């Protein structure tokens, strides 16, 4: 008996970028396209594979179509575009009964560049210069030299190490919390998670790269913020609920810390009535720190590798279905 044709679901975004590669890799497969309006090119029930690509994080109609499919006829296997699987959406993937595979290590570079874009903006007072230009004011400002400054990294996985690598190129001192001592040439000092307060008090810049777990829920609370230097900048590229946002708002309004940059918030999108929008020392971005085309193509490579395994009847790589969500996340705590 002939083997049934594989049915593979992908988004219009993937087809536009690497459709030729897909057709080459799976020449005998039926490709079922998920369109931006949430429609499917063919019935999506009974898919052997589906690539949960990055475009689904911003295209709400097509993402809703996937969520509906998970409730009725989940694909047998889903490849995700993320390293972390601690975002709330992944619980739906896991609960669907599908085999879920992730894409470890693909976003470290772009997210670290995002982190340093805002570190440099803060240190070199870019926003204040722009304000002065708009006012036609010639007003020289003092700024900060990054060499000799300390970057504290909470959670030292791929993203944390990428941040440390850039920090060392500026001559910065690097500290990081992680349960297991990392082997990294870019890290000056390793601390246990229980030493978080030591890291916070010693850091001029703090970047959160840890997963969301029971231990990291509201990790940065009022007590943690209180030990940070008043000139410190806090950047969150982890998960929104790692920070107690009520306490953060209080700290920003009182000047307990200088500023915060949030690429993630507890509930996304951030509600229009949130007081954080109005704080001049709080920068909010829509969870897009890793949205670069090169990153999309790197995640697609993970999908194509596993798709070739599927076609050949071989075991899939990077399976996360049967492990704790906190173990397959942004990085260690």
Tell me whether residue 107 is one of the annotated catalytic residues.
no
Average pLDDT (15-32) is: 96
The answer on 48 and 77 residing in a single domain is yes
Residue ranges making up the domain that contains 146: 108-284
Q: What is the pLDDT of residue 83?
A: 73
**Considering the domain boundaries, does residue 165 fall inside one?**
yes
Taking the C-alpha atoms of residue 209 and residue 333, their distance in angstroms, rounded to an integer, is: 8
CATH number of the structural domain spanning residue 51:
3.40.50.720
pLDDT of 314 higher than 50: yes
The answer on 278 and 164 residing in a single domain is yes
Higher-scoring residue by pLDDT: 282, 94: 282
128: DSSP letter: H
Taking the C-alpha atoms of residue 277 and residue 285, their distance in angstroms, rounded to an integer, is: 10
Q: Annotated catalytic residue: which of 7, 173, 239, 245?
A: 239
The pLDDT tens digits of the residues spanning 97-115 come to 889 999 988 889 999 999 9
The answer on 126 and 83 residing in a single domain is no
Average pLDDT, the chain: 92
The answer on 275 and 182 residing in a single domain is yes
Q: What is the DSSP string of 15-40?
A: HHHHHHHHHHHTTTSEEEEE-TTS-B
pLDDT of 330 higher than 70: no
Tell me whether residue 287 is one of the annotated catalytic residues.
yes
Do residues 51 and 14 lie in contact, with contact meaning Cβ atoms separated by under 8 Å?
yes
pLDDT of 3 higher than 80: no
Q: Annotated catalytic residue: which of 268, 301, 314, 317?
A: 268
The pLDDT tens digits of the residues spanning 119-172 come to 999 999 999 999 999 999 999 999 999 999 999 999 999 999 999 999 999 999
The answer on 225 and 128 residing in a single domain is yes
The answer on 83 and 56 residing in a single domain is yes
**Considering the domain boundaries, does residue 297 fall inside one?**
yes
**Considering the domain boundaries, does residue 169 fall inside one?**
yes
Q: What is the pLDDT of residue 87?
A: 57
Q: What is the model's pTM?
A: 0.86
Q: What is the number of domains present in the chain? A: 2
pLDDT of 276 higher than 90: yes
**Considering the domain boundaries, does residue 333 fall inside one?**
no
The answer on 210 and 174 residing in a single domain is yes
The answer on 62 and 211 residing in a single domain is no
Give the distance between the most distant pair of CA atoms in the chain: 80
**Considering the domain boundaries, does residue 278 fall inside one?**
yes
Tell me whether residue 268 is one of the annotated catalytic residues.
yes
The answer on 264 and 128 residing in a single domain is yes
Average pLDDT (197-222) is: 96
**In the chain, what are the helix, strand and coil shares in percent, each to the nearest 5?**
40, 15, 45
């Amino acid at each position: 008996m002939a083997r049934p044709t594989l049915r593979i679901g992908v988004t219009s975004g993937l087809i536009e970028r690497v459709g030729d590669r897909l057709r080459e890799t799976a020449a005998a497969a039926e490709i079922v396209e998920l369109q931006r309006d949430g429609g499917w090119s063919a019935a999506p029930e009974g898919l052997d594979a589906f690539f949960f690509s990055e475009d689904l994080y911003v295209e709400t109609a097509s993402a809703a179509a996937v969520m509906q499919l998970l409730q009725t006829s989940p694909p047998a296997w889903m490849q995700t575009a993320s390293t972390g699987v601690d975002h709330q959406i992944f619980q739906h993937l896991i609960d669907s009964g599908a085999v879920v595979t992730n894409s470890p290590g693909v976003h470290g570079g772009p997210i670290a560049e995002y982190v340093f874009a805002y570190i440099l903006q803060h240190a070199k007072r870019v926003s204040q210069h722009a304000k002065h230009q708009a006012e036609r004011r010639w007003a020289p400002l003092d700024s900060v030299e990054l060499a000799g400054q300390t970057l504290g990294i909470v959670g030292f996985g791929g993203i944390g190490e990428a941040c440390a690598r850039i920090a060392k190129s500026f001559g910065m001192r690097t500290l990081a919390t992680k349960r297991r001592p990392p082997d990294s040439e870019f890290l000056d000092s390793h601390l246990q998670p229980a030493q978080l307060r030591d890291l916070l008090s010693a850091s001029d810049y703090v970047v959160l790269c840890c997963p969301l777990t029971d231990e990291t829920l509201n990790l940065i609370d009022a007590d943690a913020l209180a030990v940070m230097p008043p000139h410190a900048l806090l950047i969150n590229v982890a998960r929104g609920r790692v920070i107690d946002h009520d306490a953060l708002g209080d700290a920003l309004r009182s000047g307990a810390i200088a500023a915060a940059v949030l690429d993630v918030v507890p509930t996304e999108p951030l509600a229009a009535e949130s007081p954080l929008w109005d704080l001049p020392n709080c920068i909010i971005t829509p969870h897009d720190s890793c949205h670069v085309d090169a990153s999309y193509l790197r995640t697609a490579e993970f999908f194509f590798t596993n798709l070739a395994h599927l076609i050949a009847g071989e075991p899939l790589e990077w399976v996360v279905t049967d492990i704790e969500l906190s173990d397959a996340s942004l990085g260690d705590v």
